[in-house]
Amino acid sequence: MSVAENQATAERGGARAVAVLSSIGRFLVIAVTTYLGLLAVTFFIGRVIPIDPVLAVLGDRAPANVVERTRREMGLDLPLIEQFYIYVKNALNGDFGTSVLTTNPVMTDIRRAFPATIELATLGTLIGALIGVPLGVLAAVRRGSLIDQIVRIIGLIGYSVPIFWLGLLALVLFYARLQWVAFPGRLNVVYEYTFTPITGFYLLDAALQGQWDVFRDAFRHIILPASLLGYFSLAYISRMTRSFMLNELSQEYIVAARAKGLSERRIIWGHALRNAAVPMVTVIALSYAGLLEGSVLTETVFSWPGIGLYITNSLQNADMNAVLGGTIVIGSVFIAINLLSDLLYRVLDPRTKTR
């Protein structure tokens, strides 16, 4: 290899390294900026709502001198910019204050409640993806047919029907009438004193400990709310899968594949769906993040002890430390999943490597 070729190779390698470092830098800037924006929004929401955090802690009948001392101890007498600095520093350290409702550190309550939400949203996303993707593919392949119309109607209902109303109907039918599922909650009270969670994910913990009776009971509790969340995830995923597949099926490489005599099954599942799967990573990730942050009504209807129910109960009791702490955690998870899906998209799609 000549000197000129070595120099050209080195220049190309240096350009790729610069491009990678630039991409990582942009990624970090977006993540930090978005997180600081989330903290700023929650901070100012906590300051403009008509709830005095001092009175929420001490009560309305606390002496004036105690109120003033507590206000100074909480730093509420400082300028807003200093309060925001302290707020950001505490949030980065995982300190969201103490819950008025439970008297525990907010982060302790969140660690206890969040696994329940993750377990529910994960199962819901699996149901939505495993059913929604094949339905979307089928609707795209049979475009304009009765099957396509049925899939589109299923998606429309999923977008239109309020989840709390559908949840109440499901409880009346599957629990009260048919008794196919367990009552609202996460576990039967019989097992609460005999079952010791390890990770906080009851299905996984019961399987690891070989307590299959607990596993069955936990499954009977989770299957109905997870199916409802899965249905709403299915509505979004099937619609986007149909759109991506219609775009792929109209590409020239599909025409070329048919001209070569490839089977329709291989064209659809081996070529079109493979290329459509790249943007579907983002769709499924965003659907998962949406279930994590949007399961408040589902958890309320089914008395599911997740972070959504925790925030709802805290809001009803004016426990703003818990409300804002839960909001920050959910927002942080949403930001992380969004950025991770964007990163996976760049890794999986070779076209982005040339940009």
Question: 20-62 pLDDT, tens per residue?
Answer: 567 667 777 877 888 888 888 888 877 777 666 776 666 667 7
- Does 164 have pLDDT greater than 90? no
pTM score of the predicted model: 0.81
- DSSP 8-state symbol, 266: I
> What b/e readout covers 90-107, taking b as 16+ CB neighbours within 10 angstroms?
ebeeeebbbbbbbeebbb
Give the CA dihedral 111, 117, 122, 124, nearest 10 degrees. 180
Residue-level pLDDT at 16:
62
Token pair in block for residue 64? 């004036």
- Does 237 have pLDDT greater than 60? yes
d(CA 9, CA 244): 38
Q: At what angle do helices 307-316 and 320-348 cross, to 10 degrees?
A: 150
Residue-level pLDDT at 78:
76
9 or 120, which is more confident: 120
- DSSP 8-state symbol, 178: S
* Alpha-carbon separation of residue 32 from 88, 95, 125, 331 (angstroms): 12, 18, 27, 13
- Does 7 have pLDDT greater than 70? no
Q: At what angle do helices 163-170 and 212-249 cross, to 10 degrees?
A: 140
> What b/e readout covers 44-80, taking b as 16+ CB neighbours within 10 angstroms?
eebeeeeeebbebbbeeeeeeeebeebbeeeeeeeee
